[in-house]
Homo-oligomer: A and B are copies of this chain.
Amino acid sequence: MLEGPPLRADAQRNRARILDAAEAVFAEAGTRASTEEVARRAGVAIGTVFRHFPTKDDLLAAIMKRLLAQLVEEAGRLDLFAFFTHVVAQAAAKKAVVDLLAGSGVDIRLPDAVGRLEEAVGRLLEAAQAAGDVAAPVRLPEVMALFLSVCQGALHAGWDNQLQARTLAVIFAGLRCD
| Contacts from A to B (Cβ < 8 Å) | 29-33, 99, 101-106, 138-139, 141-142, 145-146, 148-150, 152-157, 159, 163, 166-167, 169-178
Apart from A142-B166, A149-B167, list 5 A-B contacts with CB within 8 A.
A30-B104, A32-B32, A103-B155, A149-B149, A171-B174
Question: How many monomers of this chain does the complex have?
Answer: 4
In the bound complex, CA of A31 to CA of B153 (Å):
18
Q: Are A156 and B32 neighbours in the complex by a CB distance under 8 Å?
A: no
Q: Return 12 A-B CB contacts under 8 Å, by A number.
A: A32-B105, A102-B156, A141-B166, A145-B153, A145-B159, A146-B171, A148-B157, A149-B150, A150-B153, A170-B178, A172-B174, A177-B177
Q: Are A177 and B166 neighbours in the complex by a CB distance under 8 Å?
A: no
Q: Are B174 and A103 neighbours in the complex by a CB distance under 8 Å?
A: no
Q: Which residues of B contact A163 (CB under 8 A)?
A: 141-142, 145
